[in-house]
Amino acid sequence: MKVGVVTFPGTNCDQDVVKMTQAHGYEVVPLWHKDRFDINSVKMVIVPGGFSYGDYLRCGALAARSPVMASVKDLAKTGRPVLGICNGFQILCETGLLPGVLVRNDHGHFIDKWTVIETVNSTSHFSKSDKKKLRLPVAHGEGRFYADKPELDKIEEQGQVWFRYAENINGSLNNIAGVMNKEKNVAALMPHPERALFDWMGGSDGFKFI
């Protein structure tokens, strides 16, 4: 299977995601932010973490409006899977493919630690391990999931909550750590599964994630 991995200026987790993709036996197709791509050339796209465009304007705002994301939106419409991790989550929210927005952590600090998340609703595309609870690293300053009340209720009712934090580490509404679109082919989370593939990394709950 061919997996597209997007790189923006400021992306810093793309090579980790490449390694994760290869570790699962898939072929990587690098996708550059300035280029649109043939949506039939890949079966899946991953939008990795980092600080795309230096987090200028708002986290993910400029990346969401880049040529490569126009193609990612087209690909998502076909039902093919799109995964966002950390800044990738922020970008997918800014494109409108996912509901809500990620704002500054309620305590104001950047957090970098291991945390436990619980699967609420699953998707057939990602997180294929049998474990309901995953221990994964987080590293973000703006990871507090926010949506207004009607939107939040809709996300809950439509089964779009993917993961919740076991302990709310950033003030996310309803402890939300990951969400999906209604069709469940676009999904994103703040923690980094690509940083937890093997035991020597400190944990392997990120394996079988794609």
Partner 1 sequence: MKWGIKILPREVLLDTQGRAVQDYLNQNSQGVNQCRIGKYIVLDLKQTDAAESKKKAIEITEQTLLNPLIETYTIESL
Q: Which residues are catalytic?
A: 86, 192, 194
As measured in angstroms, the least distance from the Cβ of 193 to partner 1 is 26
- What's the min distance (Å) between Cβ of 100 and partner 1? 7
Strand partners, 140: 111
Q: Which of 104, 158, 173, 201 binds partner 1 (CB under 8 A)?
A: 104
Least Å distance, CB 82 to partner 1, is 20
Instruction: Provide, rounded to whole angstroms, the least separation between the CB of residue 146 and partner 1.
Output: 7
CA-to-CA dists, residue 155 to 88, 159, 180, angstroms: 19, 6, 9
Single-letter amino acid code for the residue at 17: V
Would you state the structure tokens that stand for residue 95, as one six-digit string? 């494109």
Nearer residue to partner 1 within complex by CB, 19 or 109: 109
Q: Which two tokens stand for residue 184?
A: 């469940």
Q: Write out the binding residues for partner 1, residues 20-79 only, by CB under 8 A.
A: 57-58, 61, 65
Sketch the per residue contact string, 164 through 183, with partner 1: x for CB under 8 A, - otherwise. -------x------------
* 147 is a contact residue toward partner 1 (CB under 8 A): yes
Binding mask 83-102 for partner 1 (x = CB under 8 A): -----------x-----xx-
What's the alpha-carbon Rg for the chain, to the nearest Å? Answer: 15
By CB under 8 A, residue 194 contacts partner 1: no
Q: What are phi and psi of 101, to 5 degrees?
A: -155, 155
Q: Which of 149, 120, 142, 143 is nearest to 132 (CA)?
A: 120
Residues within window 108-137 making contact with partner 1, judged by CB under 8 A: 108
- φ, ψ dihedrals at 45, nearest 5°: -125, 140
Angstrom distance (rounded) from CA 77 to CA 31: 18
- Residue placing its CB nearer to partner 1 in the complex, 67 or 202: 67
List Cα–Cα distances, 42 to 6, 72, 73, 78, 183, in angstroms. Answer: 12, 10, 13, 12, 19
The nearer residue to partner 1, 1 or 57, going by C-beta atoms, is 57
Residues near partner 1, by CB under 8 A: 57-58, 61, 65, 94, 100-101, 103-104, 106, 108, 146-148, 151, 171
